Chain A
């Protein structure tokens, strides 16, 4: 063993693994490939070996960490409480540092994450340009010329109309008596691609008697950067949000991926202020289930399968609240969905980076969902909505965010 080990921040996390293997069935990549190097237990061994200096050339193990979805199902399965997310993020950062990825695609990804996603104005421009391309038929042309890989194309959302992409800012009081005051986290891609869901979340909170603040200085949560091993950038983005929400009692999120990242700021930034921030974050379903709905949702007479976003069930431990809320919807029929907690293969931008695996995992998910006999799938994360929609296209099954069926009649 070299002395390098203990210095790497994730080394301690790897030591918690007693090699029992209980994480194997939870891991989508292991299930798909059967290769233990593509399992949490295998990856933790690699991380530990890296930290102990037993692996000289980091580039040789990078692909195993690239293939990890980061779904965190292994954390739910682990009896010893290993914080795999920290092992993964730490290892990716270390690998980035040792051997920055080469190649056009990797550079493009890094550039996109750091120069576009992390910067609200540029992200808005990007979506505007994408929208323009769509309207002018350029996108279809590019697709036909094969400039966009088909798998990727299927996943790219249709760009919503401009008014839905305008940033929400301001204070929004409820129509009647105020039950409390919350701040809404609007996200980056969420705001651009799913602005409507943000607006419905806002309306739902208002309809249930909450005064909602949408603060101006908030921005991307940094989850994608963190998962990509861009630790420094992720820390900068995190700090910005911590500062922006300093005055908020409760910070409500409607994207599971963002929520999990926000709630881990304590670890990421290592400060008491950040830990305090993390303690104030709530998923919208979790928050409303705690408070109770005061406005009865509009009737929704459909068979519905609830699919847990990984970063909600494994990342935040939120499983019951969305189901409890959905059960209050008049006419709704929640069907049995045994593999609800299995990753759909979206995993942030994984489906763009590992299209083949993501597609296989997505197809499995679609098969399981079809078998439930549901007409509508409900899941609370933008990436999952896109991925599941893509894999269910042509089946007539709809994919919605929980807030969309919790709104009262008038809303």
Chain B
């Protein structure tokens, strides 16, 4: 079993591949397959609806090309984030999005969305891919260069696809220079109203924080985040908005428990107060970018799922018991049909689960 992979999977076996030929072989049989990287994100995904073979791309772990001067690199999907970050840091570069685990996994899951107002999300950093359909057909889309509009952008639809469309064998990424300065801040123990107000003010500036999170329980909320940019500006900005600098940001994971499911919602920021109304007293919640996360009992989870379309957003149960994990709010039925048709076109045998 891969570390971190949930036990509630109906798994018939596992294959770790280290090149395209092995990947082709692993997919050739046509039996149900779930593509994974290191498996760390499987805790947040719906369980397969039938027994699957896990095909892990963790063996494809080479950084193929790092063109520092061009601000691009090409990696295999199994490259670990921390390994890439170390390579990039040596060249004073970074991949400006959050996420841990394998690079392939970060893009396939696209779990968090943008980390702050106006920040890049993984989708804007993936320039192109080399990939393989389950039938073994190798293809590519996009390009290695930072700007390109040739052909249809299959790499875009890969982002967040959770390996349900095809397997990628190479990812071409857009990089950024390491910011000249960084400043963490945390303003603690605010009332909900004060916290929302501060977040709103920060979002309304011409240089919103690169990372901004509201974390806590009702009326005991921490507004924390990271400012990036020129050192002269950061101090001035923090002073102007009364931000309290701190060393590093606390990490408080929101986890599922007995009778508690983790719901992740994406909504306009203005809808956050309405979401909070549904959350029971004393429940830990987090708001980052346009993502709202909370752990609640199943009936409340269902209520949130039902509420989100009204708020022009969407929601999904990302952790909890297997049969409910992956349940998401209703969306336009025609869009759902298109998604289905797209999966069928790229994986006609329905191998990927």
Say if the two chains contact directly (CB < 8 Å). no
